[in-house]
Amino acid sequence: MHDSNSRASDRFDPQDFDRVLSSMCTRTHPEAAAMARRFMDDSPALPEVYETVVELERRAVDLLGEVVGLDEPHGYVTTGGTEANIQAMRTARALGDTEAPNAVGSEALHFGFVKAADMLDVQLRLAPTDEDNRVDLTEVRRLADEDTVLVVGVAGTTEYGIVEPIPELGEIAASVDAQFHVDAAYGGFFLPATDHDWQFGHAPVDTMTIDPHKAGQAAIPAGGFLARDVEMLDALAVDTPYLERTSEATLTTTRSGAGPASTYAALEALWPDGYEAAYERERANAEWLADAFRERGYDVVDPELTIVAADVPNDVFERLSEKGWRILRTGEDELRVVCMPHVTREMLESFVADLDAVREETTGGAAA
Ligand SMILES: *Cc1c(COP(=O)(O)O)cnc(C)c1O
């Protein structure tokens, strides 16, 4: 019921992160939060009016270029990974030379690609993954043909954090003359601290998605769309008859300055050492939790980055939810924990203590 005597801000509280275990979003870095608040009213869509936020976006893109191994990056701060992936497919369709375009990737692609394919009338061809959740490259090769305009590789899948074989997928893209896009929405801020081949310097990557509002610790909405060549951005541009500028390559028009401003602030504060330290911590936490599940007899999908999935019985899962843990399942019904900056060791210890208590209460402690 509406109470006109009290303010919404007195009545509603945002989710407390202390029990959030299955989200790819996390607490915004304090400096990024401050910049998000300062620039939320400034829209980069009107550079003639809001000059400073446009400069912040330019700097954010330059720093994102460093993260993804691109000396002269072209791109912008999107509303998220979904928009960046839509834009990648849009570029590929615009530059591809076919009446019946298709895009090829693995089953592990983010569902946002289904939206992109639907809107752009591109056929989406997904190769199966094996029992270790790895893409079948032979199948990708088979699916790619002369009408393939885009091949997508995921550098850190949403469900398990798996880094797909980016150089090999890049070769397949080149063999059919298709654009090669890497979706590093989740993995992009972890991978620089690893030995994986995933970025522009490691493979013939054309476009990339990287999400500052996930492990980048920027405020929502902040995704990143980056391209090797300016032609790829130009392919997205439409005429803007009402504006002083002649064209615009973004998907949305009015945009929050919170994304670009907080992305720049987060990168300035954390790139590269802060992100590396965060990754080491989150990776160690993921390993620790995987061991804890294993010691209790559960099947565990080994964490490749910071995601742990364990085959925990339904009744145990339900009781943990009832205790306030914000947990989700994978498509295979495993309990999936995403170790992000707000997920501390103490938090995981308290989660495992609750897991033990729940095991006592339920099936006599028997594992799956
Ligand atoms: C989260 C994610 C997306 C979608 O990003 P949003 O910012 O939620 O739109 C796309 N791809 C991957 C691999 C992701 O993990």
Determine the pLDDT at residue 2.
63
CA atoms of 232 and 87, how far apart (whole Å): 10
Q: Evaluate if residue 368 carries a pLDDT over 60.
A: no
Q: For residue 123, which phi and psi values (nearest 5 degrees)?
A: -75, 130
Determine the pLDDT at residue 247.
76
Does pTM top 0.75 for this prediction? yes
| Confidence tier at 239 by pLDDT (50, 70, 90) | confident
What ranges in the chain are assigned the alpha helix state H?
8-11, 30-39, 51-67, 81-95, 112-120, 137-143, 166-175, 230-234, 258-270, 273-295, 314-322, 345-361
Give the model confidence (pLDDT) of 13-44 as tens digits: 999 999 999 999 999 999 999 999 999 999 99
Determine the pLDDT at residue 242.
74
Determine the pLDDT at residue 363.
67
Q: Take residue 239 and report the two structure tokens written for it.
A: 């005429």
Give the model confidence (pLDDT) of 145-173 as tens digits: 999 999 999 999 999 999 999 999 999 99
81 lines ligand 1 (CB under 6 A): yes
278 lines ligand 1 (CB under 6 A): no
Q: Whose CA is nearest to atom 12 of ligand 1?
A: 185
Give the model confidence (pLDDT) of 276-307 as tens digits: 999 999 999 999 999 999 999 999 999 999 99
Query: Residue type at 204?
Result: P
Of 65 and 246, the one with more pLDDT? 65
80 lines ligand 1 (CB under 6 A): yes
Determine the pLDDT at residue 366.
57
Q: What is the CATH number of domain 8-20+272-360?
A: 3.90.1150.10
CATH architecture of 30-270: 3-Layer(aba) Sandwich (3.40)
Q: Evaluate if residue 364 carries a pLDDT over 70.
A: no
All CATH 3.40.640.10 domain ranges in the chain, comma separated: 30-270
- Most ligand 1 atoms within 8 A of CB, residue of 83, 181, 186 to mutate: 186
Least confident of 4-8, 81-85, 123-127, 129-133: 4-8
Q: Which atom of ligand 1 is nearest to the CA of 24?
A: 1
All CATH 3.90.1150.10 domain ranges in the chain, comma separated: 8-20+272-360
pLDDT average, residue stretch 307-336: 97
Q: Evaluate if residue 240 carries a pLDDT over 90.
A: no
Q: Evaluate if residue 365 carries a pLDDT over 60.
A: no
Q: Which atom of ligand 1 is nearest to the CA of 211?
A: 7
Q: Which atom of ligand 1 is nearest to the CA of 186?
A: 15
